[in-house]
């Protein structure tokens, strides 16, 4: 078993896929867009053979899965900014999706005659509102919590998901656990109302939103903002000492992260017509994180791939298994376990994720190289010098400590 | 030539431990000022009080006539003070160039919208910032490592990179926390030249140093801390002869070279 897992062929294959993708240069965006427009048509008609795996997802069923995938790509892109780029562990990210969706419901002509609304607007007008509400929620969550580090932040964000969900579950105005139905579909020129089929949502809303999000995040990554986020992730104390406004940059990461899920929430609500607290279990927040980790923390292409895997793979497994059982469990109900296995395999072969970010890729390669240098290093010229290639910071926290508290991480 | 930094009765209390007690000193514009003292004397704590990492329990720090006590580290950088760390704190997985670029970014104005829409200012700052960062790498002699990850640089080079990164923020006052620690004699000589070059370029330097040879040769004036108290203050030659200083460095007054004793204790 171990020998199979260590198979360098598998690693080389995935390396090559990544290399090929990046070798296409800017052309890869065109390829991606073309695929995104054509994919639903091909899937719906069932043109794909089953061995492509996507062939299992045909008809209306297939395009609806594609829709969900698109929503999740938006989510993964946003969470990747927060976790992958700024290094803030957010375990309650789907809260922003919920807020976007509920905002949409409360600003459009939805629900029964008694349903509360802030206003009754055209669904298109609800889009900017959903976006702004999600971003404001990013500020609201960010400002009080971002002083917390690592695990504490993770727990608070986890709580944030449940707080939002329980609020929606208990408020009168959101119709509690019954949820809100009848959220109107948006209309577009020529074809009119978008209806219930996933394909037009994919083509009209999701593909443009994903492309815009990718461009936005790319631009941020290669800018002062992106450098500041990386610096924060690397060493917060040093970043602050170099003039990085720590809290502001963290809040910004939350806000930018929340923006894509605000839009995703709107698309989700106007497509499905109906939302309720049960659509947003905590597990979803964890699964988005899975998507980002599998794809590669900090990697934009990785987030897209990770989201596609997280949504499509279980469905493919369900279709392909045809009710088969393994060790007495039927595969269909156990399909979430597929992720456990997938995650473990990915972490063994590609600890940086399937499409690891450039920086992390180097990081991992260098880790191996550094070991070799240390073992070759001769005696040191100065007794206090650290060996070349080794992290010179041996003792932590001699420099900067929290005043007289042992509790903090550093 | 006025006073650039005024430290006035600064006290820092950690629970029962008084790391700094009523410490006073003034730094003149354009000088190299040495802050020395045995391990645990409170030197790094003083840096942390000046750079906004700690808020002193009492006392005030004034820079260029502006009170900076209580300000955030990034605000203090903006005012014109930047530092290096005793335990190197580079951004290990960023390249040398990117490390310096982060420092240079402190003087840039591009905000989130400018970055998303690639405003003309953003593009200009990216271009100029990279050029400036390259210049600083050249200034400290690290040009050929520009695209290497910071963590892969040798120890001495990492210390130089930290200095370049701090210079990137365009400080008027540069704080160096034991920049020679862990360097071999050749590197130490190079460092001495670098610190002088920085001073000659118009940046005032506050230097913490254990190596007496380095600090005495470099500093125009020094302050000596021991157990959080300032026990001496003045020209290096005078301070060196001060019995209190000799006592602090040599304990019971036993023989031996103060500097070598210190570097053994330290064992980075
Ligand atoms: N955050 C902190 N909490 C508690 N004690 C501290 C803290 N920072 C420094 N100290 C203590 O303050 C004293 C001075 O430390 P430091 O300023 O690092 O000395 P130096 O840099 O002169 O070697 C030491 O006794 C150290 O243990
Ligand atoms: Mg110190």
Would the CB of B38 count as within 6 Å of ligand 1? no
Question: Which of B116, B117, B158 would you mutate first to test chain A, the one with the most A CBs within 10 A?
Answer: B116
pLDDT confidence bin for B263, thresholds 50/70/90: very low
Question: For residue A302, how far is the Cα from the chain centroid?
Answer: 9
B66-86 mean pLDDT: 95
- How far, in Å, is the centroid of ligand 1 from the Cα of A394? 17
Residue-wise pLDDT tens digits, A221-264: 999 999 999 999 999 999 999 999 999 999 999 999 999 999 99
| A61 three-state secondary structure | helix
Cβ atoms of A202 and A36 within 8 Å: the answer is yes
A350-368 mean pLDDT: 68
Residues of chain B with Cβ-Cβ distance to A246 below 8 Å are 74
Q: What distance in Å separates the CA atoms of residue B223 and residue B238, rounded to the nearest whole number?
A: 11
Question: Which of B87, B96, B161 would you mutate first to test chain A, the one with the most A CBs within 10 A?
Answer: B87
Task: Looking at the structure, tell me whether residues A318 and A362 fall in a common domain.
Answer: no
A369-375 mean pLDDT: 40
Atom of ligand 1 nearest to the CA of B41: 22
Please check whether the domain covering B88-170 is classified as CATH 3.40.50.300.
yes
Query: Quick check: B268 pLDDT over 80?
Result: no
Query: Quick check: A332 pLDDT over 90?
Result: no
pLDDT at A386: 36
Contact map slice: A 230-259 vs B, CB within 8 A: 230-231, 234-235, 237-246, 252, 256
Residue in B169, B185, B266 nearest the CB of A243 = B169
Q: Residue A280's closest CA among A260, A261, A305?
A: A261
Please list the residues that pair with B20 across neighbouring strands: B12
Which of A38-42, A215-219, B85-89 is least confident? A38-42
Atom of ligand 1 nearest to the CA of B178: 21
Please tell me the pTM assigned to this model. 0.86
Are A220 and B115 a contacting pair at CB < 8 A? yes
Cβ atoms of A88 and A254 within 8 Å: the answer is yes
Contact map slice: A 375-404 vs B, CB within 8 A: 381-386, 388-389, 391-396, 398-400, 403-404
| B92 three-state secondary structure | coil
Are A220 and B166 a contacting pair at CB < 8 A? no
Q: What distance in Å separates the CA atoms of residue A107 and residue A101, rounded to the nearest whole number?
A: 10
A:B CB pairs within 8 Å: 164
Higher pLDDT, A149 or B37: B37
Would the CB of B41 count as within 6 Å of ligand 1? yes
Are A245 and B86 a contacting pair at CB < 8 A? no
Task: Looking at the structure, tell me whether residues A93 and A117 fall in a common domain.
Answer: yes
Q: What distance in Å separates the CA atoms of residue A268 and residue A197, rounded to the nearest whole number?
A: 12
Task: Looking at the structure, tell me whether residues A301 and A367 fall in a common domain.
Answer: no
Which of A182-191, A265-274, A312-321 is least confident? A312-321
Residue-wise pLDDT tens digits, B115-135: 999 999 999 999 999 999 999
Same CATH topology for B1-80+171-268 and B88-170: the answer is yes
Give the domain range for residue A384. 357-410
Task: Looking at the structure, tell me whether residues A338 and A378 fall in a common domain.
Answer: no
Cβ atoms of B26 and B6 within 8 Å: the answer is yes
pLDDT confidence bin for B266, thresholds 50/70/90: very low
pLDDT at A202: 85
Query: Quick check: B48 pLDDT over 50?
Result: yes
| B7 three-state secondary structure | strand
- How far, in Å, is the centroid of ligand 1 from the Cα of B186? 30
Is A41 in CB contact (< 8 Å) with chain B? no
Higher pLDDT, A398 or B184: B184
Domain spans in chain B, listed from the N-terminal domain onward: 1-80+171-268, 88-170
Q: Provide the pairing of β-strand A187-188 with A192-193.
A: antiparallel
Q: What distance in Å separates the CA atoms of residue B2 and residue B28, rounded to the nearest whole number?
A: 6
pLDDT at A251: 94
Would the CB of B48 count as within 6 Å of ligand 1? no
State the smallest CA–CA distance between residue A168 and chain B in angstroms: 32
pLDDT at B242: 85
The CA R_g of chain B, rounded to the nearest whole Å, is 19
Task: Looking at the structure, tell me whether residues A288 and A379 fall in a common domain.
Answer: no
State the smallest CA–CA distance between residue A393 and chain B in angstroms: 6
Of all residues in chain A, the one with the smallest CA distance to B127 is A223
Of A395, A397, A402, A404, best ligand 1 pocket probe by most atoms within 8 Å of the beta carbon: A404
Q: Residue B34's closest CA among B218, B237, B243?
A: B218
Higher pLDDT, A266 or B246: A266
Task: Looking at the structure, tell me whether residues A337 and A407 fall in a common domain.
Answer: no
- How far, in Å, is the centroid of ligand 1 from the Cα of B87? 13
Task: Looking at the structure, tell me whether residues A346 and A370 fall in a common domain.
Answer: no
Of all residues in chain A, the one with the smallest CA distance to B124 is A223
Q: How many domains does chain A have?
A: 2
CATH of the domain at A337: 1.10.3470
Are B74 and A400 a contacting pair at CB < 8 A? no
Atom of ligand 1 nearest to the CA of B15: 4
ipTM of the complex: 0.91
Task: Looking at the structure, tell me whether residues A373 and A408 fall in a common domain.
Answer: yes
Are B122 and A225 a contacting pair at CB < 8 A? no
Task: Looking at the structure, tell me whether residues A19 and A137 fall in a common domain.
Answer: yes
pLDDT at A400: 64
Residue-wise pLDDT tens digits, B163-197: 999 999 999 999 999 999 888 889 999 999 999 99
Task: Looking at the structure, tell me whether residues A138 and A184 fall in a common domain.
Answer: yes
Query: Quick check: B210 pLDDT over 90?
Result: no
pLDDT at B251: 62
Cβ neighbours of A394 (radius 10 Å): 11
A173-185 mean pLDDT: 90
| B240 three-state secondary structure | helix
Q: Please tell me the residue having the least CA distance from ligand 1 atom 24.
A: B40
Cβ atoms of A252 and A146 within 8 Å: the answer is no
Instruction: Share the mean pLDDT of chain B.
Output: 90
Are A404 and B17 a contacting pair at CB < 8 A? yes
Give residues with Cβ within 8 angstroms of A212, minimum separation 6. Answer: none
CATH of domain B1-80+171-268: 3.40.50.300
Q: Provide the pairing of β-strand B221-226 with B32-36.
A: parallel
Are B51 and A241 a contacting pair at CB < 8 A? yes
pLDDT at B190: 92
A328-347 mean pLDDT: 74
Task: Looking at the structure, tell me whether residues A262 and A339 fall in a common domain.
Answer: yes
Task: Looking at the structure, tell me whether residues A40 and A72 fall in a common domain.
Answer: yes
Are A362 and B122 a contacting pair at CB < 8 A? no
Residue-wise pLDDT tens digits, B225-241: 999 999 989 998 888 88
Q: Residue A185's closest CA among A108, A262, A278?
A: A108
pLDDT at B130: 95
Cβ neighbours of A410 (radius 10 Å): 12
Would the CB of B266 count as within 6 Å of ligand 1? no
Q: What distance in Å separates the CA atoms of residue A80 and residue A74, rounded to the nearest whole number?
A: 10
Would the CB of B14 count as within 6 Å of ligand 1? yes
pLDDT confidence bin for A372, thresholds 50/70/90: very low
Query: Quick check: A339 pLDDT over 70?
Result: yes
Q: What distance in Å separates the CA atoms of residue B261 and residue A230, rounded to the nearest whole number?
A: 40
State the smallest CA–CA distance between residue B8 and chain A in angstroms: 21
pLDDT at A21: 73
Query: Quick check: A375 pLDDT over 80?
Result: no
Residues of chain A with Cβ-Cβ distance to B110 below 8 Å are 223-225
Q: What distance in Å separates the CA atoms of residue A371 and residue B227, rounded to the nearest whole number?
A: 40
- Residue A87 tokens read as 């290094």
Would the CB of B181 count as within 6 Å of ligand 1? no
Of all residues in chain A, the one with the smallest CA distance to B168 is A242
Query: Quick check: A14 pLDDT over 80?
Result: no
* Alpha carbon separation from A190 to A193, A204, B159 (Å, rounded): 9, 12, 64
Residue-wise pLDDT tens digits, B7-28: 999 999 999 899 999 999 999 9
Query: Quick check: B1 pLDDT over 60?
Result: yes
State the smallest CA–CA distance between residue A244 and chain B in angstroms: 6
Which of A201-210, A253-262, A360-369, B39-48 is least confident? A360-369
pLDDT confidence bin for A1, thresholds 50/70/90: very low
pLDDT at A48: 77
Would the CB of A144 count as within 6 Å of ligand 1? no
Give residues with Cβ within 8 angstroms of A136, minimum separation 6. Answer: none
Q: What distance in Å separates the CA atoms of residue B147 and residue A362, rounded to the nearest whole number?
A: 12
pLDDT at A281: 93
């Amino acid at each position: 078993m171990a020998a199979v897992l260590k198979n360098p062929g598998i690693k080389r294959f995935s390396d090559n896929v990544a290399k090929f993708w990046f070798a296409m240069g800017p052309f890869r965006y065109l390829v991606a867009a073309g695929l995104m427009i054509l994919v639903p048509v091909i899937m719906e008609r069932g043109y794909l053979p089953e061995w492509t795996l996507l062939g299992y997802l045909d008809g209306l069923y297939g395009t609806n899965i594609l829709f969900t995938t698109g929503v999740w790509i938006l989510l993964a892109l946003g969470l990747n900014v927060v976790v992958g780029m700024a290094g803030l562990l957010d375990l309650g990210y789907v809260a922003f999706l919920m807020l976007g969706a509920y905002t949409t419901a409360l600003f459009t002509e939805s629900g029964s005659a008694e349903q509360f609304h802030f206003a009754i607007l055209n669904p298109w007008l609800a889009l900017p509102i959903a976006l702004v509400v999600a971003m404001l929620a990013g500020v609201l969550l960010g400002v009080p919590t971002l002083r917390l580090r690592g695990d504490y932040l993770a727990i608070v964000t986890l709580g944030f998901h449940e707080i939002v969900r329980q609020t929606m579950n208990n408020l009168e105005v959101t119709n509690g656990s019954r949820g809100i139905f009848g959220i109107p579909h948006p209309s577009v020129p020529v074809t009119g109302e978008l209806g219930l089929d996933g394909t037009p949502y994919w083509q009209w809303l999701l593909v443009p939103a994903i492309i815009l999000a990718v461009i936005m995040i790319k631009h941020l990554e290669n800018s002062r903002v992106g450098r500041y986020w990386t610096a924060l992730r690397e060493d917060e104390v040093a970043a602050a000492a170099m003039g990085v406004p720590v809290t502001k940059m963290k809040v910004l990461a939350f806000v930018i992260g929340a923006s894509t899920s605000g839009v995703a929430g709107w698309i989700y609500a106007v497509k499905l017509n109906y939302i309720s607290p049960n659509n947003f279990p905590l597990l979803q927040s964890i699964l988005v994180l899975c998507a980002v980790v599998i794809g590669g923390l900090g990697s934009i292409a990785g987030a897209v791939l990770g989201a596609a895997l997280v949504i499509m793979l279980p469905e493919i497994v369900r279709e392909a298994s045809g009710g088969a059982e393994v060790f007495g469990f039927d595969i269909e109900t156990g399909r979430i376990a597929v992720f456990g296995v997938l995650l473990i395999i990915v972490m063994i072969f590609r600890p940086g994720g399937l499409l690891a970010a450039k920086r992390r890729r180097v990081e991992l390669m260098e880790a191996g190289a550094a070991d070799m240098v240390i073992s070759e290093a001769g005696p040191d010229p100065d007794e206090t010098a650290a060996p070349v290639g080794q992290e010179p910071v041996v003792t932590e926290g001699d420099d900067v400590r929290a005043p007289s508290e042992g509790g903090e991480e550093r | 030539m006025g006073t650039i930094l005024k430290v006035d009765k600064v006290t820092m209390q950690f629970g029962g431990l008084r790391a700094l007690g009523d410490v006073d000193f003034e730094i003149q514009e354009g000088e190299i000022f040495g802050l020395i003292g045995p391990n645990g004397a409170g030197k790094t704590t003083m840096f942390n009080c000046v750079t906004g990492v700690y808020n002193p329990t009492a006392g005030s720090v004034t820079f260029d006539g502006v009170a900076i006590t209580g300000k955030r580290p990034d605000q203090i950088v903006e005012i014109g003070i930047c530092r290096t760390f005793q335990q190197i704190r580079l951004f290990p997985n960023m390249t040398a160039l990117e490390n310096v670029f982060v420092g240079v970014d402190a003087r840039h104005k591009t905000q989130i919208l400018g970055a998303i829409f690639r405003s003309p200012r953003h593009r200009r700052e990216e271009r100029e910032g990279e050029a400036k960062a390259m210049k600083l790498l050249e200034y400290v002699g690290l040009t050929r490592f520009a695209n290497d990850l910071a963590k892969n640089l040798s120890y001495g080079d990492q210390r130089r990179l930290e200095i370049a990164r701090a210079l990137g923020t365009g400080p008027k006052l540069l704080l160096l926390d034991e920049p020679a620690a862990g360097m071999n004699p050749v590197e130490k000589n190079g460092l001495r030249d670098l610190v002088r070059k920085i001073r000659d370029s118009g940046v005032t330097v506050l230097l913490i140093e254990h190596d007496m040879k380095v600090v005495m040769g470099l500093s125009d004036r020094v302050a000596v801390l021991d157990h959080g108290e300032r026990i001496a203050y003045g020209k290096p030659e005078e301070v060196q002869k001060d019995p209190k200083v000799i006592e602090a460095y040599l304990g019971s007054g036993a023989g031996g070279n103060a500097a070598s004793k210190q570097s053994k204790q330290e064992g980075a």
